[in-house]
């Protein structure tokens, strides 16, 4: 928010409220579809908005983007290292809030809806209300991630938030595993960390253009075929297999 002359805390609040409202409006329009069609609809909306932001260059900077600075909190300007620490603290807080939310009455209602919408309706759960709430929360989380990313990198452009990034985030969920908090963390390390820290340093193949996308694509295929529940459950299954083997050995 440097170019708009807004304090960091004010800017982050605005950056959360505006997308959250937009997310609720998108939810109202797209709730007639579900499952994979809902995912496609939201991806389409994201792509349309990206093009709009590119054309709205007076505000977004268009292809040139906008520069930001490291956060200034209560008059204290953070360094790059302090900003990274701040991001980690925010992440931990969000993880704790998410875990508490899952076990709250609202979280249990959403879990019931995911399992069976007719059963949820029979229990008196207002589907429209909770679906819109899910849209709002998901959009708010995405907004927090976006604004913190911009202030850590010190630059952002609409071109960064493209369809490819959305597909990578989807890969994080598929590879790591859904229905858990740990799954997306594992998926993020694999999808974004392994290509940057491991694959690029490999001899010969490390110089291949698009190696990260090839790696992620092949891994998605392997996970879907052989481990559809996600890699987050591998440790549990290994422990289970080890205990079973130990019992068999003692017998």
Local confidence band at 120 (pLDDT 50, 70, 90 cut-offs): confident
Question: Which residues are 72's β-sheet partners?
Answer: 77
- pLDDT for the residue 35: 65
Measured on CA atoms in the order 84, 86, 90, 92, is the torsion positive or negative?
A: positive
The tally of CA atoms less than 13 A away on the side-chain side of residue 126 is 6
Q: Which residue has the higher pLDDT, 108 or 198?
A: 108
Is residue 26's pLDDT more than 90? no
Token couple for 157: 């452009």
pLDDT, mean of residues 125-138:
86
Is residue 30's pLDDT more than 80? no
Is residue 130's pLDDT more than 80? yes
End-to-end CA distance of the chain, in Å?
67
Pair 42, 51: CB distance under 8 Å: no
Token couple for 172: 């994080």
Question: Which residues are 76's β-sheet partners?
Answer: 73
- pLDDT for the residue 60: 75
Q: Which long-range contacts (CB under 8 A, 24 or more apart) does 182-189 make?
A: 182/232, 183/230, 183/231, 183/232, 186/230, 186/231, 186/232, 187/230, 187/231
Local confidence band at 251 (pLDDT 50, 70, 90 cut-offs): low
Cα–Cα distance for residue pair 87/27, rounded to 1 Å: 28
Alpha helices in 177-210 (DSSP H): 182-188, 194-197
Is residue 211's pLDDT more than 60? yes
% pLDDT > 70, the chain: 94
- pLDDT for the residue 86: 92
């Amino acid at each position: 928010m440097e170019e708009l002359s807004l304090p960091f805390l004010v800017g982050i609040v605005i950056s959360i409220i505006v997308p959250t409202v937009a997310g609720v409006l998108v939810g109202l329009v797209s709730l007639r579809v579900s499952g994979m069609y809902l995912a496609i609809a939201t991806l389409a909306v994201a792509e349309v908005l990206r093009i709009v932001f590119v054309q709205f260059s007076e505000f977004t900077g268009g292809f040139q983007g906008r520069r930001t600075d490291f956060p200034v909190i209560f008059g204290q300007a953070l360094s790059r290292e302090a900003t990274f620490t701040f991001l980690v603290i925010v992440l931990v807080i969000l993880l704790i809030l998410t875990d508490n939310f899952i076990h709250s009455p609202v979280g249990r209602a959403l879990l019931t809806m995911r399992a069976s919408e007719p059963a949820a309706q029979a229990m008196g759960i207002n589907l429209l209300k909770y679906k819109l709430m899910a849209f709002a929360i998901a959009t708010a989380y995405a907004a927090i991630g976006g604004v913190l990313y911009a202030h850590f990198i010190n630059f952002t452009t609409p071109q960064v938030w493209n369809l490819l990034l959305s597909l990578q985030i989807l890969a994080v969920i598929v590879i790591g595993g859904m229905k858990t908090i740990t799954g997306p963390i594992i998926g993020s390390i694999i999808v974004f960390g392994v290509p940057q820290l491991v694959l690029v340093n490999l001899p010969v193949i490390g110089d291949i253009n698009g190696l990260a996308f090839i790696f992620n694509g092949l891994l998605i295929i392997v996970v879907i075929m052989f481990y559809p529940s996600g890699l987050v459950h591998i440790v549990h299954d290994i422990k289970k297999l080890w205990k079973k083997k130990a019992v068999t050995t003692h017998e």
